[in-house]
Homo-oligomer: A and B are copies of this chain.
Amino acid sequence: MRCKASVVVKLRKGVLDPQGAAVEGALRSMGYADAAGVRVGKCFEFGLEAASLDEARNRAVEISRRILANPVLEDFTVEVQPVVD
């Protein structure tokens, strides 16, 4: 069964986000003064081949923990959907 995984990796609450601060500065200087608390993260999409949706989800979580995210600094969320041909 072909599945598609979407992983969103964000800095944990409380971890300083200089990239977010830079974007927030840009927003303010372009007239969006009410935009606040900008946080920047990464998202990953990839296909997986698995026997079931549960197996695919477990594999995607394992991949996220081992490779895509730094568990000390980052949180991640995983969504897995079957690919309908």
Check if A41 sits within 8 Å of B45, measured CB to CB.
yes
Encoded as 1 (CB less than 8 Å from any B CB) or 0, chain A from 54 to 78 comes to: 0000010001001110000000000
- Tally of this chain's copies: 2
- A35: B residues at CB distance < 8 A: 46-48, 63
Whether a CB of chain B sits under 8 angstroms from the CB of A36 is yes
In the complex, what residues of B have CB within 8 A of residue A46's CB? Answer: 23-24, 27, 35-39
Checking B34, B37, B45, B49 against A38 with a beta-carbon cut-off of 8 angstroms, the contacting residue is B45
A30 at the interface (CB under 8 A from B): yes
Residue-by-residue, is A15-38 near B (CB-CB < 8 Å gives 1, otherwise 0)? 000001001101100101011111
Kindly report which residue of chain B lies nearest to residue A33, judged by CB atoms: B49
